[in-house]
Structures are given as C-alpha cells and as structure tokens.
Amino acid sequence: MRTLYTWLLYAALPWILLRLWWRGRREPGYRDAIAERFGYAILDPKSRLLWLHAVSVGEVRACAPLVRGLQREYPDHDVLVTCLTAAGRDTVKQVFGESVLQAYLPYDYPGAVRRFLEHYRPKFGVLVETEIWPNLMRACAAHGVPVMLANARMSRKSVQAYQRLSWLSRPAFAGLAAVCAQGASDARRLSRLGAPNVAVTGNLKFDIEPDAAKAEEGKAFRAALRHRKVLLLASTREGEEERLLGELGAQDDGALIVLVPRHPRRFEEVAALAARMGFTLARRSLGEAPHQGRRLYLGDTMGEMAFYYAMCDVAVIGGSFEPLGGQNLIEACAAGIPVVTGPHMFNFADVTRLAVEAGAALQSSDTKAAVRAARELLEDPGRCAHMGIAGKRLCAQHRGAAERHLAVCRSLLPN
C-alpha cells in the first residue's frame, strides 16, 4: 500500500511545484533552494552529523533547548536542522545563527529521501512533534539511522485521521526508535498508533529561554506608553482578526491593541482589514510609534514574540477561535502575562488545562467572551499580577524536558 501512496505523491508533483511558485509570490523563500526539496544537497558537512527536523516556526523554536543540549553533548558532531516552510528556514537563522547547518527536508519521494540520507549520513535523526513520513522512515531504517520523535503530541482528532490510514501510518510509527511524548494522553495515543518505546518527557517549550534583549526592548516600549493599557492579540489566524477587532471596535476604552498575525504572508492583508474597519494603526515593521489616537499596533515582524509579550498587560491567544488547534501559550506564561484563549486548543490541550488549573489562563467560549474577559483583566491589575505569578510558577515547575530528551538520545546514540 505504500507503493500506492508513492504513486499518488508522484501524481501530485505538478500541484506541489505550482504551490511552491504560488506561495513564493508573498514569501520568496519558497522559490529558493528547490533542489533541496528533492534531495539534491547543497551543503557539505565537515564532520559527523546529527539531524533534527522541525517543520516550521513553532517547531524550530521548540527544539532550541534540545539542539543546544545536543551541541554540548556531542561537540564533535555538526547539527543539521531541516524544515519545510520558508518562515521556518528564516527562524533557524534567527535562533541558531551559524551554529547549525540548515536545509529543506526533501519531499517524501523514495529517491529524494535516499539522496538526502546518502549525502548527509546522519548518525541519528530527531523529528519534532508530529512529522512522520512513510518513505522517509523506511529509508532511515534501510540506512541504519535511528529516529526519535521529540516533543510529541497527538490529539484525538489526529489519532482518528491516522487510524483511517493505518495501513500507511502504522508501519511508519513502528519504525521509530523512541518517542518522547509531551504528556500521558499523548503517550497513550501514540502507543495506540504503533509507536514503540514511548516515554513521557514533558514539553520542550517550558525550557525555552526568551530573547532577553527583545524582552528588555519590549519593557522599554511599554514604559514609554506610560499608563496606557496594552492588549495583545497573539498569533491570530484568518477569520479571527475581523471578529476580535469587531468586538474591540465597539468600545474605545483607551487601551492599545497589539495585533500579531501568525503568518507573515498575511501582514498586508490584516493591515488592510484593520484600516477598512476604521482602526488607526501603527506598524512595527515601519518603525511607527502608537501615539495617542492610534488604537492598533500591528506586529508585522518575525521572531519578536518576546518583545510583544514584554510590552503587554494581557494576551489573547489566536488560532483558538476556529477549530485550528490553538497556539503555544507557554511563552506568555513564562513572561508573567495573563492569558485568555478560545475554545479550540486541542493541539495544546494538556498545557492549556495546566495553565487554567494553575490560575494562569482563562478559556473562553468565543471571541465575545474572550474580549470581555480580557477587558475585565485590564481593569484589575491585582488579578493580572496574580495570574502572571501563577504562569511563571507553572513554567518553573515543568522545566527539565530537554534533559529528559537528552537521556533518550544518549540511549540511542552512545558516545
């Protein structure tokens, strides 16, 4: 049946190439290094190599503590970080600079993944969160490359999707050498899908160190606003901005609204939307300041969430008001910022539950309820402070996932 999957993938090749070209209109990085996507390597490693795959921005940032741990543990090895998106590739540069090699992971064609593995010859592979590709897993087994699934999460919805394709997914999961699951529920679901050697190691995102320079810049920016309250709409997705701004636009309470869309390709679209809705805005990318009278500050930059969390009083987490699974709320908690989410946080279910139980977050039923909760928090500094302390305490209690991941790595790749 894997042969059928491969033939379908070959049949889809024209549409895959067309999609690269189409996305390249807004994100030129999609038109770069296309040869890498078919296993034709450009880089030439100088030493033994460890390979880690992080599909996009969130996974790249999540894996940072593990990458740095591997660099300390195996200083005589290079680390190659692969991704699939142009934004992910840019984030690799922002987070790691020149300390790692980087490339696009080839599409899951047998020849492409074989060329990739034969060129780089990794001693070990790490897939971050949920990136399981059947031909890649088969090729790794054939080349003797043990593969670990790191920071793994598995929602009920994803389990159902994988089970419908069990003829394809089960052998791929069974080919893993080990799995480091974020929580007990993730571990149970992954075991049900056929993954072996599943351990609960916690969430790597609790170990992420915020960018101190960006955080200080955000605090200075916040101080310049004096007594003006700041509400952050973080990592919003299509359809959410209009609803959230619609709720906020009905009442001007003097607060500054900071809006940070999840995907950079939507920055212009969201700016136009806000203008049509009657908001006067300033844009971070243009160096504009949100002077009095400007209600909206558009965070149209990448890699600056530490800045945005440091400058706000309350954060509303996007991706959670449509059935998209939500976005990571750990960074906000670590910054001591009260969090409000929507109902759809299934990709971060365990973390959301922990944050709500700890008193660090509120989960709302819809955008109207979320805006109401956020406004109530803005008017209650004492409660904000209490929630912020609870968030920092929660993050401190759950650190240590990187070391637990490294212990599993040592068992698969002894010195």
Whether residue 207 is contained in a domain is answered as no
Residue 277: exposure state from Cβ atoms within 10 A (0-12, 13-18, ≥19)? middle
Q: Tell me, yes or no, whether 151 and 259 share the same domain.
A: no
Q: Tell me, yes or no, whether 26 and 138 share the same domain.
A: yes
Can you give the CATH number for the domain in which 230 is found?
3.40.50.2000
269 pLDDT more than 80? yes
Summarize pLDDT for 36-75 with one digit per residue, the tens. 999 998 788 877 999 999 999 989 999 999 999 999 999 9
Q: Tell me, yes or no, whether 314 and 361 share the same domain.
A: yes
384 pLDDT more than 80? yes
Can you give the CATH number for the domain in which 143 is found?
3.40.50.11720
Predicted pLDDT at 387: 98
State the Cα–Cα distance between residues 261 and 231, nearest whole angstrom. 14
Predicted pLDDT at 71: 96
Q: Tell me, yes or no, whether 30 and 139 share the same domain.
A: yes
Predicted pLDDT at 130: 81
- Average pLDDT on 367-384 reads 96
Cβ neighbour number for residue 141 with a 10 Å cutoff: 16
CA 393 to chain centre: 22
Token output for 362: 């509120």
Q: Tell me, yes or no, whether 109 and 155 share the same domain.
A: yes
Q: Tell me, yes or no, whether 102 and 147 share the same domain.
A: yes
Kindly report the CA angle at 33 between 28 and 39, in degrees rounded to 5? Answer: 145
More confident residue, 414 or 260: 260
Cβ neighbour number for residue 198 with a 10 Å cutoff: 22
Q: Considering its fold, how many domains does the chain have in total?
A: 2
For residue 10, give the nearest of 126, 156, 127, 111 by alpha carbon: 111
Whether residue 114 is contained in a domain is answered as yes
pTM over 0.85: yes
Q: Tell me, yes or no, whether 328 and 236 share the same domain.
A: yes
For residue 40, give the nearest of 149, 131, 120 by alpha carbon: 120
Predicted pLDDT at 291: 79
Indicate which residue of 36, 59, 129, 240 is catalytic: 59
Whether residue 269 is contained in a domain is answered as yes
Summarize pLDDT for 163-179 with one digit per residue, the tens. 998 999 999 999 999 99
7 pLDDT more than 90? yes
Whether residue 100 is contained in a domain is answered as yes
Whether residue 70 is contained in a domain is answered as yes
Predicted pLDDT at 415: 60
Q: Tell me, yes or no, whether 226 and 333 share the same domain.
A: yes
Q: Tell me, yes or no, whether 383 and 287 share the same domain.
A: yes
219 pLDDT more than 90? yes
Summarize pLDDT for 9-39 with one digit per residue, the tens. 999 999 999 999 999 888 888 999 999 999 9
- Average pLDDT on 382-407 reads 96
State the Cα–Cα distance between residues 218 and 304, nearest whole angstrom. 9
Whether residue 321 is contained in a domain is answered as yes
Give the 3-state DSSP-derived string for the chain, with helices as H, strands as E and coil as C: CHHHHHHHHHHCHHHHHHHHHHHCCCCHHHHCCHHHHHCCCCCCCCCEEEEEECCCHHHHHHHHHHHHHHHHHCCCEEEEEEECCHHHHHHHHHHHCCCCEEEECCCCCHHHHHHHHHHHCCCEEEEECCCCCHHHHHHHHHCCCCEEEEEECCCHHHHHHHHHCHHHHHHHHHCCCEEEECCHHHHHHHHHCCCCCEEECCCHHHHCCCCHHHHHHHHHHHHHCCCCCEEEEEEECCCHHHHHHHHHHCCCCCCEEEEEECCHHHHHHHHHHHHHCCCCEEEHHHCCCCCCCCCEEECCCCCCHHHHHHHCCEEEECCCCCCCCCCCCHHHHHCCCCEEECCCCHHHHHHHHHHHHHCCEEECCCHHHHHHHHHHHHCCHHHHHHHHHHHHHHHHHCCCHHHHHHHHHHHHCCC
Domain that holds residue 244: 212-397
- Average pLDDT on 123-151 reads 94
Q: Tell me, yes or no, whether 68 and 57 share the same domain.
A: yes
Q: Tell me, yes or no, whether 229 and 187 share the same domain.
A: no
Predicted pLDDT at 198: 96
Token output for 128: 């971050």
> Does 357 qualify as catalytic in the annotation?
no
362 pLDDT more than 80? yes
Q: Tell me, yes or no, whether 240 and 375 share the same domain.
A: yes
- Average pLDDT on 113-139 reads 94
State the Cα–Cα distance between residues 306 and 284, nearest whole angstrom. 14
Whether residue 263 is contained in a domain is answered as yes
More confident residue, 372 or 265: 372
**Average pLDDT of every residue of the chain:** 93
Cβ neighbour number for residue 283 with a 10 Å cutoff: 16
State the Cα–Cα distance between residues 341 and 374, nearest whole angstrom. 10
Categorize the per-residue pLDDT at 210 as very low, low, confident or very high, splitting at 50, 70 and 90.
confident
Whether residue 356 is contained in a domain is answered as yes
How far is residue 215 from each of residues 43, 116, 228, 258, 393, measured CA to CA in Å?
Answer: 34, 38, 19, 15, 19
Predicted pLDDT at 414: 65
